[in-house]
Amino acid sequence: MQKLDAFLHAIDNTSEWSGKIVSYFLFIMVFIILYEIIGRAAFNSATLWAHETSAFIFGSYAVVGGAYTLWLRGHVTVDVLYARLSLRKRAIADVVTSLLFFGFVISLLWWGSALAWKSLSVRETTMSAWRPPLYPFKMTLVLGIFLILLQGTAKFIRDLITAATGRGTV
């Protein structure tokens, strides 16, 4: 049980640190958007890169931060029935619905990895006038999906233990 606890805590720590690191992306994005707004308003000078760069940063933030949100139990749930269930019944419901989670996330990881690999192999760029490389963003999405899968696995293991014992886990 100690090795399992260590494994689960390692996943939790990875989710926590990746979420905290990626949270700083918002400051970079805000700076880029402010730079664009000031450039347009004060100097009548727009950039080619600000919109696309902020979209890449926000997309990375959202996907890589998904594991952190899952760790914090911050994703949306339908509490109308769920909140009325006992701890054990909630865990059973979570185990059953995790089949949908794993199907969806594994599909995303499978197809996302294929798309990221293809993008990297051809050194794909966007179609804009600026033409930045697209493959680093696609690879970041795969990383984020993998982190979500890891955190979902930790949640699933904890839910199985709770469903079997009726007691919560750490």
- pLDDT tens digit sequence for 5-19: 999 999 999 999 999
Token pair listed for 101? 């989670």
Digit-coded pLDDT (tens) for 24-33: 999 999 999 9
pLDDT, position 50: 95
Question: With 90 as the cut, is the pLDDT of residue 167 above it?
Answer: no
Residue 149 binned pLDDT confidence (cut-offs 50, 70, 90): very high
User: Rounded to whole angstroms, how far apart are CA atoms 21 and 38?
Assistant: 27
Percentage of the chain exceeding pLDDT 70: 99
| Three-class DSSP category at 133 | strand
Both ends of the chain: CA-CA distance in Å? 12
State which amino acid sits at residue 135.
Y
Least confident interval from 10-14, 83-87, 97-101? 83-87
Residue 78 pLDDT exceeds 80: no
Q: What is the mean pLDDT of the chain?
A: 94
Residue 125 DSSP label:
B
Q: Residue 1 has what pLDDT?
A: 82
Per-residue pLDDT of 40-71, as tens digits, reads 999 999 899 999 999 999 999 999 999 999 99
pLDDT band at 112 (very low <50, low <70, confident <90, very high): very high
Q: Which of 87, 65, 82 is nearest to 158 (CA)?
A: 87
Stretch 108-132: mean pLDDT = 96
> What pLDDT does 93 receive?
93
CA angle 23, 59, 142 (to 5 degrees): 100
pLDDT at residue 170 in the model: 65
Q: What values do phi and psi take at 164, rounded to 5?
A: -80, -35
**Residue extents of the structural domains in the chain:** 2-165
Pair 139, 133: CB distance under 8 Å? no
State the Cα–Cα distance between residues 102 and 136, nearest whole angstrom. 25
Query: What is the torsion angle, in degrees rounded to the nearest 10, for the CA atoms of residue 77, residue 82, residue 88 and residue 94?
Result: -40
Distance CA 81, CA 163 (A): 17
- Cα Rg of the chain, angstroms: 20
